[in-house]
């Protein structure tokens, strides 16, 4: 939502019924996970699993 719809974290928070801080943390964790996955050289078709973090 942040990237595709160009929404601010507070706007996403309202839509999802979350606090803006929760949205910021989740976006940070998702970007971090993506960065680490790409750095590890995971390519399409690999069997690496991306698992969500526990809250």
Q: What is the 3-state secondary structure (H, E, C) of the chain?
A: CCCCCCCCHHHHHHHHCCCHHHHHHHHHHHHHHHHHHHHCCCCCCCCCCCCCCCC
50 located within any domain: no
49 located within any domain: no
51 located within any domain: no
Domain of residue 17: give its range.
Answer: 9-39
The pTM of the full predicted model, rounded to 2 decimals, is 0.63
3 located within any domain: no
CB 24 within 8 A of CB 9: yes
34 located within any domain: yes
Structure confidence at residue 40 as a pLDDT band (50, 70, 90) = confident
Model pLDDT for residues 9-25, shown as the tens digit of each residue: 899 999 999 999 999 99
44 located within any domain: no
17 located within any domain: yes
24 located within any domain: yes
pLDDT of residue 46: 59
pLDDT of residue 47: 57
What's the total number of domains in the chain?
A: 1
Structure confidence at residue 52 as a pLDDT band (50, 70, 90) = low
């Amino acid at each position: 939502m942040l990237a595709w719809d160009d929404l601010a974290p507070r706007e996403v928070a309202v839509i999802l019924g979350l606090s803006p801080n929760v949205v910021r943390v989740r976006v940070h964790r998702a970007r971090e996970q993506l960065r680490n996955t790409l750095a590890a050289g995971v390519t399409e078709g690999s069997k690496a699993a991306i698992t969500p973090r526990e809250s």
